[in-house]
Amino acid sequence: MSKKKSIPNITFMMEFVRQFIDEEIDRLGFDLDFNYHLNQRFNKMELENSEAANIFVERVAELVDNSGDMDTEDLRDKLCDGFDLVLDILNGNTY
């Protein structure tokens, strides 16, 4: 039986987004810290799982970057799709 690959950087970013979606982090804290954490972790995320890392950037990070005119509840709702897709990839449920 093979050991599951460690993905601490992807896990950190997914947990950070989950906390925002679940209203455990406010919008200001999320906006201020998201890009910092992503910049610090993205190269390691790609090494952990390049498909999940790239989908995270395409579906989550781009949405965050373009969310200036979006209200907080809309952002939380829209983040769920990208978040769920990355979870599917990590769980081996890609389509």
**The pLDDT of residue 95:** 58
Give the CA dihedral 38, 4, 85, 58, nearest 10 degrees.
Answer: 30
**The pLDDT of residue 1:** 46
Tell me, yes or no, if the pTM score tops 0.85: yes
Per-residue pLDDT of the chain (95 residues; tens, 9 = 90+): 455 678 999 999 999 999 999 999 999 999 999 999 999 999 999 999 999 999 999 999 999 999 999 999 999 999 999 999 999 999 998 65
Q: How far is CA 29 from the centre of its chain?
A: 15
Domain extents in the chain: 8-90
**The pLDDT of residue 52:** 97
Give the CA dihedral 82, 94, 44, 14, nearest 10 degrees.
Answer: 40
58: Cβ–Cβ under 8 A, 6 or more apart, which residues? 82
